Amino acid sequence: MAGYEQIRADSALTPAEDEVRLDVRGLEVRVGRAGPDVVSEVSFTVQAGQVLGLVGESGSGKTTVVLALLGHARRGLHISSGEVLVDGVDLLRLPAAQLRAVRGARVAYVPQDPSGCGPSGARGSLTCPRIRPRR
């Protein structure tokens, strides 16, 4: 598969400020292979330097979407369509070994911790403690 051999967990990333780092197109997750959709038509882009927060009610599919972005679906669910492009490479089309190498090195899931964030007073705003890198 052309282009996939270019992904290396240890490669240095120096994206341009306006470069799209994450491009999600038409992501859909279903129950089984042909069951009802759990999430559908999820599309968005994130440019270098941007942060995107996924917000919704409990059970609305936030975790399902985030796991699908990493090429993973919970038991009984199936990523039925869409593209998840990280630096132009579709993670959903990567062979399993390459996808494992990318997870944690190039992309990662940071789960929510409701005890760490609280309303800041501004409508729709949250204040959260900063995450510090491990040394």
List pLDDT tens digits, range 65-120: 999 999 999 999 999 999 999 999 999 999 999 999 988 888 888 776 655 555 55
Q: May I ask the CATH architecture of the domain 4-9+17-127?
A: 3-Layer(aba) Sandwich (3.40)
Query: How deeply is 85 buried, as exposed, middle or buried, from its count of CB atoms within 10 A (0-12, 13-18, 19+)?
Result: middle
From residue 37, alpha-carbon distances to 32, 80, 95, 106 in Å are 9, 9, 24, 28
Percent of the chain predicted with pLDDT > 70: 70
> Which is more confident, 20 or 10?
20
Domain ranges of the chain: 4-9+17-127
User: What sign for the dihedral angle of Cα 70, 53, 81, 12?
Assistant: negative
Q: Is 0.75 topped by the overall pTM?
A: no
Backbone φ and ψ for 64, nearest 5 degrees, come out as -60, -45
